[in-house]
Amino acid sequence: MSAAPAAVATHGEAEIKINRLWLFAAGAAVVVNGMFPALWVLLTSLKTEGELTRVPISYLPQDPTFQNYLTAFAAQPLARFFFNSVVVAGLSTVLTLLVSAFAAYAIARLRIRWKNVILSAIVAVSMFPLISLMVPLFQTMRALGLLNTYLALILPYVVLNLPVCILILVSFFSAIPRDLENAAMIDGCTRLGALFRVVLPLTAPGVFTAGIISFVNAWDEFLLALSFTSSMQMRTLPVGITLYQGEFAFPWPIISAALIVAIVPIAVVIVIFQERVVSGLTAGGVKG
Amino acid sequence: MSSKSPRRSIGDLSEGTLGLLMLLPAILLLCLIVVYPVGRLMYISLFDWRMSLPNAVPAFVGLEHYIYALTDDPKFWDAVYNTVLITIITVPGALVVGLGLALVANLPFKHRWPTRLALLLPWALPLVFAGLIFRWFFNYDYGLVNDILQRLGFGKVLWGTDPNLAFFTICLVIIWKSSSFMAMILLAGLQTIPRNLYEAAKVDGATSWQCFWKITLPMLIPSMVVALVFRTITAIQTFDIPYAMTGGGPGGTTETLAMYIHKTTIDFLDFGYGSALAMLMFLVSLGATTIYLRIIQGDKE
Amino acid sequence: MLRRTVTTGLAAAALAAPLVLGALPAAAQQTTLRVFIGGQQRPDVMRPLMDLFQQQNPGVRVEIEVGGATSEAQQQYLTTVLTSRDPAIDVMLIDVVRPAQFAAAGWAEPLDAYLGGTDRATVLRRYLPGYAEAVVVDNKLMSLPAFADAMFLYYRTDLLQKYGLQPPRTWEETVSHARRIMAGENNPNLQGLNFQGAPIEGTNCTFLIPFWQLGGNLVGANNRVTVNNDAGRGAFQFWLDAMRTHRVSPANSAEVRTDDTRLQFQNGNVAFAVLWAYGWNLFQSEQSQVRGKVGVVPLPTFQGRQSATCIGGWQWAVSAFSRNKPDAAKLVQFLASGVASKHLAINASNLPVLPDLYRDPDVLRTNPWFEAALPVVITARSRPVSPRYPEVSEIIRTNVNGVIAGTKTPQAALTEMESRLQRVLR
């Protein structure tokens, strides 16, 4: 492990060793805290139902089986659910980022009236419990002829994610020195050009954070997905996973297998996007 | 409309017009998706509209539902009490844990992705299933927690039967889950703090501790406020985790406002009262958010 | 009309967009019926029935729409669609406790006009009495029975044999058998008698069963709620004694949900369990630790008292907003017929709603215990019938859960139940 450049400069050899130890311990604590439930789900997905209620409980699967995964794919069109979730979460994320970047830039950078009122109104949207808005929202979607289409989920997801994404981007955009933008505009950039060439690259951590938030929110949403896309072909993963349940029976190992199928892509997206956050920062740092 | 006049590039527009144009997509989407439902919610909250009454015709009752909730409904106040308690325990809890996670994830590891992934996974786990997984962890007979306690020589604990323990475990799970969201926003904030600030401070002989208090924390405030605003709004709407873990039990001691609204609207089909409760929840969130936004503004000026 | 044009225009525009992959309506001549069932009701078993109906009725296509698997999720979806008066659903499968609510809300189409000249009494005479009663609300036929359910006492035949015991007929016997077995086995993980005390629908039955057996009647003369009495106290005392005095029921009973009971019994950790009919098939499955060692009997009662159990089950209803009501009503009558009930009994082990099927050799081949179940489903009692049943249910289950958890005294719970129930059932 290469020593950390920032921390090392003024420390001696011994201190570096201690620092490394602390570094490792802190990292390990974070990893354990974040991973153990997902790990437990993974282990459960390899067990039989009988093993779940053994006393004392077994940690590692005694007789590992992939049967639960086969059952998960055979019992429900899991691949289709997966595809639907990718489409809905992916497109709504792109749309959310575009719309919220424009709005956040206007609020953070331009002289417009009623700025605070607009910002407050946008944030206020997320304060209504979704459950109470279901019926009128359903009626709106029906009037638009969107029920059982991807748009029936994409549009509300964009709206639900707008408040948090706009607020994040506003806070990041406000932190960029105006000189940088002005310099770009003197060089012949338009305002929009400045937004795309200067502001967004510099605030990459914020943009990717907003992106991850809206992707995960869309990926996990249950209530709207249940009611607005009722045909089997249009179901998304969170709703699809609940379909493994019996009237009373809750087949944990099979549901765990389906959950792993749902979590892995999220993990991949996180890993990829997080690398981008770092590289975006480095690029910005060089320029700044 | 000035924006339609020909032969003018976007760069020539006045700031006000450009600003409006840039806000337009967001505003249009909000109007399309939110304005009608919210308007309808407010409207219905003024009516007695119960599907459980035969041939129910909504009757105008004005503010009666609000008055009933505030003055005469003990279940409402129990639910508010539980919700407020969850909010004031889990929001600061998640902030502290989330800040710790973000600081660790920001350390210069050779491979960053394990900590980053671990930071975000709790949040990526669908809420309902997070509740179910932890219910299983805290299960009396087959749960991981009691198993570990027994291996350490302690007795088994009735996590879901004792009201205080049930409340405690719910808060613990909410903090575990939401500190991840906090940490993500704070981590992004940490990344934008210019390194040269620390370098300059080090040159001046500042300790790490001083750097943290004098540079890191103040620079993080905008990110913290964003995270706090949304964490508070979602804490006030807490539903899935208590719903999955205790179902409001034992004896209704862990029922939140959102669970009460859900029951009233979906189970009891009392749309009028359910809408009024939702409006009250909105007002509470609005109050909390106004305070935060004041802090942002006060900070700016 | 204007709205309609706008809708069509938008729909056309939306369909043209590549994002939209929604199914187009089938050819114009054909009627498509959409049937809503829960994921738990075995859509795979229902499908062949729909295919059969399609064969018998050319020009009608039946689509199954599967909602969320929990009753909560289904109720959520149905509430959204039906409150919006949406015609998306033609036929729906609803819980036995719901018809009164659906009738009051105007969500279910009365079926009397669709019986093709046969009068209602004749149609209903074929069904088990409790189920024939449950489908009529305010002298209107709101639905037809789909399948039955009830609570039973499951026991371990091997353990009873080992200690020379007979299946219990009274609760007193059940408790003493359980104590005997627990003492003999000396296994700290073995539970004597497992029941549900979590705040779920089934917990109402946990209270109502002993309450009824002790002579209680929730709604007495003049619509007065009578629960704060000896029967109410006796019902609570029985479960509390089972947990605390005799220690045959687990200390965490207030956390036990329906499927927890099933899982624990299936894994050999329970001697006696109070559970719905669905347990049998799973207990006899390959994964089960107790395969071939399971017996079922009607629920015990108290010494010298009448037996009683809770009625459960599901019913078929036609949506009031359907655009194909005659066809939908025809489908419902088919689904409530002997053919359908037999199919469900054989392939999903759903208890039939027609008494003859309990003696049908094909049914008994897969479900030998159905013969013993007949007297149980004939005498099973309904939970209180009211359009406000969900409120009734919430009041009972919250209080029962509180008593079982020990956060409430039986007396406090009974007092609260009586006053709150009185307001709802008035």
Verify cis geometry, omega within 30 degrees of 0, for the bond prior to A253. no
What pLDDT shows up at residue B299? 55
- Convert the pLDDT of each residue in A126-149 to its tens digit: 888 888 888 888 888 888 888 889
Distance from CA of B108 to the nearest CA of A (A): 5
Which range, A164-173, B251-260, C119-128, C231-240, is most confident?
Answer: C231-240
State whether A112 and A233 are in the same domain.
yes
Residue B248 maps to a domain: yes
User: Cα torsion at B77, B79, B81, B85 (round to 10°)?
Assistant: -170
Instruction: Report H helices in C164-323.
Output: 171-185, 202-213, 230-240, 258-266, 279-283
Could you give the number of structural domains in chain B? Answer: 1
> What number of C-beta contacts closer than 8 Å exist between B and C?
103
Token pair belonging to B92: 């600061």
Over residues A188-215, mean pLDDT: 84
Q: From B29, B185, B117, B11, select the one nearest A169 (Cα to Cα).
A: B185
Give me the total of CB pairs closer than 8 Å, taking one residue from chain A and one from chain B: 292
Q: Domain boundaries in chain C? A: 30-149+312-379, 150-311+384-425
pLDDT of residue A83: 93
Q: Which is more confidently placed, C198 or A121? A: C198
A96, part of any domain: yes
Q: Is the pLDDT higher at B6 or at C101?
A: C101
Find, among C407, C125, C47, the residue nearest to C254 by Cα: C407
Alpha carbons C79 and B266: distance in angstroms, whole number:
7
Give me chain C's average pLDDT, please: 88
- Domain with B113, as residue range(s), is 36-193+219-300
Model pLDDT, residue C339: 95
C322 neighbors C99 (Cβ within 8 angstroms): no
Identify whether B93 is part of a domain. Answer: yes
Residues of A in Cβ contact (< 8 Å) with B37: 128, 133, 136-137, 140
Per-residue pLDDT band at C4 (split at 50, 70, 90): very low
For residue A60, being part of any structural domain is answered with: no
Q: Other C-beta atoms within 10 Å of C221: how many? A: 7
Structure tokens at A273: 């996007």
In a domain, A50, yes or no: no
- DSSP symbol at C41: G
Handedness of CA C12, C18, C20, C26 (dihedral sign): positive
- Cis peptide leading into residue B54 (ω within 30°): no
Which residue segment(s) compose the domain that A196 sits in?
Answer: 67-287
d(CA B224, CA C326): 60
Same domain, residue pair A23 and A110? no
Q: What is the mean pLDDT of residues B179-193?
A: 88
Closest alpha carbon to C378 in C273, C317, C307: C307
* Residue that wins the pLDDT comparison between B33 and C400: C400
Contact A142 C83 (CB under 8 A): no
* Smallest CA–CA distance from B251 into chain C, residue: C402
More confident residue, A183 or C14: A183
A109 & A165 share domain = yes
Task: Inform me whether the C-beta atom of residue B41 falls under 8 Å from chain C C-beta atoms.
Answer: no
- The nearest CA of chain C is from the CA of A216 a distance in Å of 20
Amino acid code (one letter) for C303: Q
Chain B: nearest CA to A177, how far in angstroms?
A: 12
Are the C-beta atoms of A214 and A96 separated by less than 8 Å? yes
Q: Kindly state whether residues A34 and A83 are assigned to the same domain.
A: no
Q: Is B145 at the interface with chain C, CB within 8 A?
A: no
Q: pLDDT, tens digit, for every residue of C242-267?
A: 999 999 999 999 999 988 898 899 98
- Please tell me whether residues A238 and A119 are part of one structural domain: yes
Q: How far, in Å, CA of A249 to CA of A239, rounded?
A: 17
> At B31, which amino acid appears?
C
With cut-offs at 50, 70 and 90, classify the pLDDT of residue A248: low
pLDDT digits (tens, 9 = 90+) for B32-84: 888 889 999 999 999 998 888 776 678 899 999 999 999 999 999 999 999 99
- Segment C85-91 mean pLDDT: 92
Taking the Cβ of residue C196 and every Cβ of chain B, the question of whether any pair is shorter than 8 Å is answered with no
CB contact under 8 A, C22 and A154: no
A 10 A CB-CB count for B279 gives 22
Question: Which of C75, C78, C398 is the best mutation test for B, with the most CBs of B within 10 A?
Answer: C398
User: Which one is the CATH code of C30-149+312-379: 3.40.190.10, 3.30.1360.120, 3.40.50.300, 3.90.1530.10?
Assistant: 3.40.190.10
Q: Are residues A39 and A90 in the same domain?
A: no
pLDDT tens digits for C30-46?
Answer: 899 999 987 777 788 89
pLDDT of residue B39: 92
| Inter-CA distances, A211 with B20, B113, C262, C342, Å | 24, 17, 43, 53
Query: What band does C16 get if pLDDT is binned at 50, 70 and 90?
Result: very low
Tokens of C305: 């008292």
Which CATH superfamily includes the segment(s) C150-311+384-425? Periplasmic binding protein-like II (3.40.190.10)
Contact across the interface for A227 and C258, Cβ inside 8 Å: no
Q: Is it the case that residue C12 has pLDDT exceeding 60?
A: no
Give the model confidence (pLDDT) of B1-44 as tens digits. 344 444 445 555 677 788 888 899 998 998 888 888 999 999 99
**Same domain, residue pair A87 and A208:** yes
Per-residue pLDDT of C164-177, as tens digits, reads: 999 999 999 999 99
CATH number of the CATH domain containing B59: 1.10.3720.10
pLDDT at A281: 43
pLDDT tens-digit map of B205-241: 888 888 888 889 998 988 898 899 889 999 999 998 9
**Nearest CB neighbour to B163, from listed C398, C403, C407:** C407
pLDDT, average across residues A31-40: 91
Cα distance between residue A216 and residue A209, in whole Å: 11
Tens digits of per-residue pLDDT, C173-193? Answer: 999 999 999 999 999 889 999
How far is Cα B38 from Cα B34, in angstroms, rounded to an integer? 6
Q: Do residues A75 and A218 both lie within one domain?
A: yes
Do the Cβ atoms of B192 and A203 come closer than 8 Å?
yes
Q: How far is B55 from chain C (nearest CA, A)?
A: 6
Q: Which chains touch C (3 or more CB pairs under 8 A)?
A: A, B
Write out pLDDT tens, residues B108-141.
888 888 888 898 888 888 887 888 889 889 988 8
Q: Is the pLDDT of residue A220 over 60?
A: yes
Q: Which of A53, A163, A216 sits opposite B142 (nearest CB)?
A: A53
* CB burial readout C363-389, b (16+ within 10 A) else e: bbeebebbeebbebbebbebbbbbbbb
Residues pairing with C194 in the sheet: C273
Q: What is the pLDDT of residues C207-229, one digit of tens each?
A: 999 999 999 999 887 888 999 99
Nearest by CB: C79 against B53, B161, B269 = B269
Beta strands in chain B (DSSP E): 47-48, 59-60
* CA distance to partner chain B, nearest, from residue A245 (Å): 13
What length does chain B have?
A: 301
At residue A247, the pLDDT reads 53
If asked whether residues A148 and A236 sit together in one domain, one would say yes
Burial A136-165, CB ≥16 within 10 A → b, else e: bbbbbbbbbbbbbbbbbbbbbbbbbbbbbb
**How many angstroms separate the Cα of C252 from the Cα of each of B93, B162, B214, C247?**
29, 10, 51, 11
Q: At what angle do helices B15-30 and A151-175 cross, to 10 degrees?
A: 140
Decide which of C218 and C66 is more confident: C218
A15 pLDDT band (50/70/90 cuts)?
low
C331-389: pLDDT as tens digits: 999 999 999 999 999 988 899 999 999 999 999 998 888 988 898 888 888 888 888 99
Rounded (5°) CA angle C158-C161-C162 = 85
pLDDT at position B82, please? 96
Tell me the nearest-neighbour CA distance from A176 into chain C, angstroms.
36
* Bridging pattern class, strands C270-276 and C144-156: antiparallel
> Which chains have 3 or more CB–CB distances shorter than 8 Å to chain B?
A, C
Please judge whether C251 and B158 are an interchain contact, meaning their C-beta atoms are less than 8 angstroms apart. Answer: yes
Contacts of A148 in chain C (CB under 8 A): 22-23
End-to-end CA distance of chain B: 35
Which residue carries 């990526």 as its tokens? Answer: B124
